[in-house]
Amino acid sequence: MKETKQRHKGFLRSRLKQYGVGYLFILPWAIGFGALIAFPLGWSFFMSFHKVVATTGGFSYDFVGLQNFKDAFVKDNVFPIQLIEYVQEMLLMIPIIVIFSLLVSLLLNQRFPGRFLFRAVFFLPVIFATGQVLTELFAQNAGEIPFMDQYNLEPIVQKYVGEGLAQPVLSVLGKTVIILWYSGVQILIYIAGYQTIPKSVYEAVRIDGATPWDSFWKITLPATLPFISLNTLYTIVDLFTFPMNPVLEHVRKNMFKPDTGYGYSSALAWIYFAFIFVLLAIVLRLFSSSAKRRGGRA
């Protein structure tokens, strides 16, 4: 009796020690999360319900309830339009980026001489597709591919897509280079993903007489599904925190306007965040349900 108790105690102690080590490893992150994410998030949530005026001693808060959120849709004549336009554009760009990077990664995954050179080129945009250099390039129109003017695509698009959708479609076409450049990380993820498919599977189906076409649809694509979902999520996050994003620019402008201030801009940022969140939730649902249908893992 006594012995088992003691053993139990020893077990408990080793368990606790084990947990302690885990918490110790997590500690820096946990402090950072509390101080630099959770606390600021809570604060900005708090501000979004107030009219915030910056005074010399700090901020003065004036509770206004949901007024800021209401204003965003009723009073503000820029924000809802920009938000909807940008979301439309994203909905077009996300599948294009995901599919484009899938195709390029498939090509790059083939074995052919000179593959290294091409791979190096395709990872290059990761270096300068972020930040100010990109903004400068776009300011000089170097980011656009001239085919829009060359083939006079604008009236054609308007004719076939309809007035309402023409604007986002045109704007996406104008951003071809962004689509190409923002595929860098996704291509990497896909290529890393292909390495998880064992070579023997391909050999087996080849012996069974499957063509490359079959083996792509039956093996490569199902095995890549989790990476497609990962890439979709990554693309959404990447595009929504994009430096030239008009919505974020609007949020930023409102921060320093005297009549709107931090409270209002926090409310805008939260609305925007909510949109991203809903979109991500939908994508996650879609992918997990399709993975379930296949009986595989997401």
Which residues within the stretch 264-293 sit at the binding site for other proteins (CB under 8 A)?
A: 265-266, 269-270, 272-273, 276-277, 280
In the list 176, 201, 290, 291, the residue contacting other proteins (rule: CB under 8 A) is 176
**Least gap, CB of 61 to other proteins (angstroms):** 13
- Of the candidates 238, 215, 245, 266, the one whose C-alpha atom is nearest the C-alpha of residue 50 is 266
Q: Which stretch binds other proteins (CB under 8 A): 1-9, 76-84, 154-162, 262-270?
A: 262-270
Count, residues near other proteins per rule CB under 8 A: 96
**Least gap, CB of 234 to other proteins (angstroms):** 8
**Least gap, CB of 25 to other proteins (angstroms):** 4
**Least gap, CB of 3 to other proteins (angstroms):** 24
Q: Is residue 22 a contact residue for other proteins (CB under 8 A)?
A: yes
**Least gap, CB of 237 to other proteins (angstroms):** 6
How far is residue 43's CA from residue 266's CA, in Å, rounded to a whole number? 10
Q: Is residue 11 a contact residue for other proteins (CB under 8 A)?
A: no
How far is residue 50's CA from residue 102's CA, in Å, rounded to a whole number? 46
- Of the candidates 206, 5, 193, 235, the one whose C-alpha atom is nearest the C-alpha of residue 98 is 235
Q: Which is nearer to other proteins, 165 or 225 (CB)?
A: 225
Contact partners, residue 50, CB within 8 Å, separation at least 6: 61, 62, 63, 64, 263
Which residues within the stretch 110-129 sit at the binding site for other proteins (CB under 8 A)?
A: 110-112, 114, 116, 118-128
**Least gap, CB of 218 to other proteins (angstroms):** 14
β-strand partners of 60? 53
Q: Which stretch binds other proteins (CB under 8 A): 27-35, 70-78, 85-93, 288-296?
A: 27-35
Q: Are 236 and 90 in contact (CB under 8 A)?
A: yes
How many other CB atoms are there within 10 angstroms of residue 244's CB atom? 13
Cα distance between the two ends of the chain: 48
Which residues within the stretch 29-48 sit at the binding site for other proteins (CB under 8 A)?
A: 29-33, 35-37, 39-41, 43-44, 47
Which residues within the stretch 177-216 sit at the binding site for other proteins (CB under 8 A)?
A: 177, 180-181, 188-189, 191-193, 195-196, 202, 206, 212, 216
Token duo for residue 183:
């595929």
In the list 66, 139, 156, 204, the residue contacting other proteins (rule: CB under 8 A) is 139
How many other CB atoms are there within 10 angstroms of residue 226's CB atom? 16
Q: Is residue 94 a contact residue for other proteins (CB under 8 A)?
A: no
Helices (H), the chain: 2-32, 39-47, 67-74, 79-109, 115-123, 125-128, 132-139, 147-150, 153-161, 163-173, 176-181, 184-194, 199-207, 212-215, 221-240, 246-255, 261-293
Q: Which stretch binds other proteins (CB under 8 A): 1-9, 152-160, 163-171, 173-181?
A: 173-181
In the list 11, 23, 63, 160, the residue contacting other proteins (rule: CB under 8 A) is 23
Amino acid residing at 167: Q
Tell how strand 58-63 and strand 50-55 pair up.
antiparallel
**Least gap, CB of 26 to other proteins (angstroms):** 5
